[in-house]
Chain A
Amino acid sequence: MFSTMLNRLYRLLISVKLAVALIIVIMAVLATGTMIESLQGAAAAKIIVYNSLWFSVLILFLALNVLSVALSRLPWKKRHLGFVMTHLGILMLLGGALISRYYMIEGQMAISKGETEAFITLPEPLVQVQSPDKGKIWAFRLPQKAFTWEGSEVFDEGRGPFSLELLNFYPKAEVVEKYKPTPGGSAAILVKVHGGVIDHEGWLVQGDPHKGALEMGPARVLLAKDLITASPEDSIAEDNVLAFEIGDKTVEVPVTAEMALPATFALENTEYTVTLLAVFRHGVVAEGKLIDQAVNTGSEAWVNPAVKLRLEGPGIVEEHTAFAKFPDFPTIHGQEPKPSGVKVGFIVPGVDAAQASDREIRFVVGDGGNVNVQMQREGKLITQEVTPGETLATDWKGVSLEVVEYIPSAQKELVFIPLSNISELEGAASVIRLNIGRGDEKTAVWLRLGTPETVNLGGEPYLVAYTMKRIPLGFKLKLENFLKTDYPGTRNPAAFASDVILTDAMHGVTQEAHISMNEPLDYRGFKIYQSGYLQGSNEPDVSIFAVSRDPGIWLTYLGSIVMVLGILVMIIASKQVRS
């Protein structure tokens, strides 16, 4: 009984019919896989098909079939040469693929110009929890989901004093910021600007460095602390003043263009010392640097007065730039407030913020919680109260302004809307929701990939992050230079490359290398490829490398060669060619 079954199994395994059936099944599976990739992205296809256990079993079954068929022709004769080579080649190829599948390292590395990097990021999602004293980090392997998923799954148990439970997994989600009335929050206004080609809606939030203003080319709408106060126009004297707001104190220091620089002075009754580095009569930004245009023109007019200074205090050294016309410049340009919290104002009589007001519309929350708007109307600076729902005409051609909503005290809340896996929507991110438990206490938290959140557990703040696994390479790469050339007359890249310095302290190796498209750097089994870049106007170039180590590749190559030679032998030996 048993032997007949074994016999049947053997007959099945050595049959070509099984091979044909398996080939057709694999074709159908692969076609489905590519369909999933087309509709849901490569990651989903890998999770569902290519990296699944059953797919490996299917391939192993095919390998067993190929091996059995080849062995069943024993003893091999001369005419079997092509046949044996081809099938042996296929087995080697599959063997190489198996080794690669489980032992290959494939990661990414992004390095800014001038920076050094020693780690690569692998496509393996993790949840990391950092202890309040930053002394310990626990990492938990996140279960992989192909699609948007909701449910409850406890994962990676017994690692550290926590329990983690996955509640939501969105491979891609749109992140929407909402403001909700909350006591102790900041004033927030939702404004809508439209007309002509402008159609813009956004929140303006008091005190938020990224939400201070809506920028529309040269014009802007902002929520400021104070109204512009026009100063008397006749007082054009050389009594410029630097005003330092420290807490609730204000210290004023006179400044002239003729001062010997750098000038250092202490701020009275404070712990701070100021070094005045430069004074500009006509400050303009050229090639990312502030320069004084007045030096070139020889003019003595205060066109765009600015100062650059260094502020030193207990444990603090920071540089400030202040413009007379643009007192809110740092806030509006999204710069974080300086650690000292000191606000520097530059006051040049006759040249004040009012001059910039034809290009801005300013909202200010009054003492009574009412919203005032200050803007140019028919060439005059006016201030009036606005109520939500009101539409205001502006001096800008055809543009009108609407206050959609006003919340006197609001707090930001992020809402995540799941998107299709392959959405390329700007700002879309992978998002999870976790239940983190410590003892009996459980807290649910939303996490965006790469954005850590603080979670209170047992009264202590833990930093929790949804990240990708990072491993050390064993050596370091420093990006010296990034080079990109474009096709003539276009901004389409023709080629890009990186100059790097590799340091391997363990082996006492330091070498320079040039990595370009299709010309990787080979070091200790790792291959480092130029794969992409990021270029911003004010930021250093970032070069992106793909890093991989594939221990199965030699067997794959060997198998390929043997297989192709085998088919060639079969063709040459076939009747058609010989006749």
Chain B
Amino acid sequence: MKKMLLGILFCCAGVCLGSEGISILEEIPVQEGGRVKPMLSFANEVTLYITGKHQFQGKPPMVTILEWLANPEASAQQPIIPVAYLELQAELGDHVIDGRIAPEWVLGDRAFAQTVEAAAAKQRKRGELTTFEEKLLEVHERAIVFATVAQGLTPGVLAKPDHPQESWMPLHFLASREGARALSQYYPAAEAQQATAAFQGVLGAVRDGSVDAAQAELFVTSLREMAEASDVALDYTVIDTEVFYLRLRPFHQAWLLYLASFLFSLPMVLRRQGRAATPWRKGFGWLATILFLLGFGIQAYGIYLRTIIAGRPPVSNMYESIIWVSWVVALFSTVYYFVWKSLYVRNVAALVAAFILILADKFPVVFSPAISPLVPVLRSNLWLTVHVLTITMSYGAFALAWGLGHALVFDYAVRPNKSERTRELQGFLHMTLLVGVVLLAAGTILGGVWANYSWGRFWGWDPKETWALIALLGYLAVLHGRYAGWLGDFGIAVGSILAFLGVVVAWYGVNYVMAAGLHSYGFGGGGGSYVVLVAALDLMLVGALATRYRMLTKTVP
């Protein structure tokens, strides 16, 4: 069933490159980064890390990795490592080709090595690094990772029979005589030789241009036989699940489906007020509903798969929270749709969910999709899961409110008079805000409960918790502004857009820009200027629409 679904998806999407050999190799279990995962997962992560791209030169990551392994010296001379920082680009001069530099130069140049060592010495002493030094070290680190991958020093492919928890032996052991000798300590010589020959066969085939299924199968089988001969028990089902998850790309499919759903529902939504829908409009409407539910379903399935693979709820880093929040947006609108038949809310939700998912999909360097092990404090805790899920659900509610706010501001700016549509959206906006407030309040308090349980204090003015409180206060200000008579319907709509800025800071800003406090396990970097730009553009748009609305309401009493 899984295979069939995949087959259809791939051939439709044109991802089918006809290279069955590669896909067999992708399924090899490897140990890297503190867990066992399929080679595909490693290839994706390491290609993204080294080259900054999902696919380098348009090739599947597995192919890229194999080419590096097959021709380590030649590939090291290729411009692979991205040098985006202009100051560094200027420093490196002609060595940078198309914004990239060759790992061989990075690791081989003596003067460069000294600059790197000076920066590294400063980093070891934990002195403050300049941006230039940070970027310098990043380029160097990427070159080192390239070298370890190309020389087959990572990932581990063969467990030590008695100690599978220790570092596994990497591919390098199948490529050298010393490696073979080391292997023979743990594995029967015949099997080790067979695996070595099979691996050399694969590399030879890569050099010749294509790996056929039989060669790949031979290598994979010999690895598996070695593991079995030495009683290394591996859970292949989890590996298979992860391969399936990676190939399915459920979150990518989900945003495509949401966007399609939005487009197909336009004929239904844009028909003139009070007019009955023609059968073709209705047909498109049904199609839109089905597409939306498919997107919702495939996203839910993706979250489920990720939970199975990681062995924990997927809410431990930025990427996972983005996936979850966009799903919650879809969830709320689905509930509204089925309980109150709210078509408008669903379309707004489709756009918001697609927008958030595209962010996650298109900025993998900023929001890393890798599944990584948790730091100790985050492990095995009911309160943590409840706290994070509640908080992120509130973000989902507020993201929906943000979308509804936009829809309303647009609507009012076009036609200040109330319509059936604005009345409906206004009601749902208010309810969504209330739901968001209760979830955020409860989530923040649950965070305190967890903090008290795990760190020994309920509240410590940590930036993350403080910003959650600021975001909450922002929405309270909007709601109370209405009770005080300061804000009307239009004001609430604008308010729900402005107040979302608090959520953006609490969610993204604290982790990626401030990078302070105890929530350091979710920290990352990058994208700050884009977020500020998008927020500024959004505010300008809302400002322009608000001005128009004011003019219209003044002239039409």
Interfacial residues, chain A to chain B (CB-CB below 8 A): 15-17, 19-20, 23-24, 26-27, 30-31, 33-35, 37-38, 41-42, 45-46, 50, 97, 100, 104, 106, 197, 199, 420, 422-427, 486-490, 492-496, 517-518, 520, 527, 529, 531, 546-548, 550, 553, 556-557, 560, 563-564, 567-568, 570-571, 574, 576-577, 579
CB-nearest residue of chain A to B377: A517
A-B contact pairs, 23 of them (CB 8 A): A27-B470, A30-B467, A33-B461, A37-B461, A42-B517, A100-B458, A199-B114, A420-B128, A423-B128, A424-B126, A425-B127, A426-B125, A426-B126, A427-B125, A489-B167, A494-B373, A495-B376, A495-B379, A518-B377, A547-B456, A563-B441, A564-B438, A567-B437
User: Please, what's the 1-or-0 string for B506-538, where 1 marks a CB less than 8 Å from any CB in chain A?
Assistant: 000010001111000000000000000000000
B434 touches A488 (CB 8 A): no
A564 touches B34 (CB 8 A): no
Q: B74 at the A/B interface (Cβ < 8 Å)?
A: no
Q: Which 10 A-B pairs have the closest CB atoms?
A: A487-B34, A548-B456, A38-B514, A424-B126, A16-B484, A489-B167, A38-B516, A426-B125, A34-B463, A560-B445
Tell me, rounded to whole Å, the shortest Cβ–Cβ distance linking A283 to chain B. Answer: 29
Tell me, rounded to whole Å, the shortest Cβ–Cβ distance linking B549 to chain A. Answer: 22
Q: B410 at the A/B interface (Cβ < 8 Å)?
A: no
Q: B476 at the A/B interface (Cβ < 8 Å)?
A: yes
CA distance A557 to B473 in the complex (A): 19
Q: B228 at the A/B interface (Cβ < 8 Å)?
A: no
Q: Which residues of B contact A557 (CB under 8 A)?
A: 449
* B: interface residue count bin: 35 or more
A45 touches B461 (CB 8 A): yes
Interface centre among A24, A100, A567 (most CB of B within 10 A): A567
Tell me, rounded to whole Å, the shortest Cβ–Cβ distance linking B353 to chain A. Answer: 22
Contacts A518-B454, A556-B458, A564-B442 given: A576-B427 contact, CB under 8 Å?
A: yes
Q: Which residues of A contact B456 (CB under 8 A)?
A: 106, 520, 527, 529, 546-548, 550
A34 touches B510 (CB 8 A): yes
Contacts A38-B516, A527-B456, A567-B437 given: A31-B470 contact, CB under 8 Å?
A: yes
Contact partner of A574 (CB less than 8 A), chosen from B166, B168, B431, B466, is: B431
Q: B197 at the A/B interface (Cβ < 8 Å)?
A: no
CA distance A576 to B336 in the complex (A): 12
Q: Which residues of A contact B31 (CB under 8 A)?
A: 488-489
Q: Which residues of A contact B164 (CB under 8 A)?
A: 488
Q: B435 at the A/B interface (Cβ < 8 Å)?
A: yes
CB-nearest residue of chain B to A101: B459
CA distance A490 to B35 in the complex (A): 9
Q: Which residues of B contact A26 (CB under 8 A)?
A: 473
User: Please, what's the 1-or-0 string for B413-446, where 1 marks a CB less than 8 Å from any CB in chain A?
Assistant: 0000000000000011011001101100110010
Q: Which residues of A contact B517 (CB under 8 A)?
A: 37, 42
Contact partner of A23 (CB less than 8 A), chosen from B381, B458, B466, B480, is: B480
Q: B302 at the A/B interface (Cβ < 8 Å)?
A: no
B514 touches A34 (CB 8 A): yes
Q: Which residues of B contact A24 (CB under 8 A)?
A: 477
Q: B85 at the A/B interface (Cβ < 8 Å)?
A: no
CA distance A246 to B557 in the complex (A): 107
Q: B32 at the A/B interface (Cβ < 8 Å)?
A: yes
B445 touches A487 (CB 8 A): no
B381 touches A20 (CB 8 A): no
Tell me, rounded to whole Å, the shortest Cβ–Cβ distance linking B454 to chain A. Answer: 5
CA distance A440 to B519 in the complex (A): 52
Contacts A517-B376, A517-B379, A546-B455 given: A571-B477 contact, CB under 8 Å?
A: no
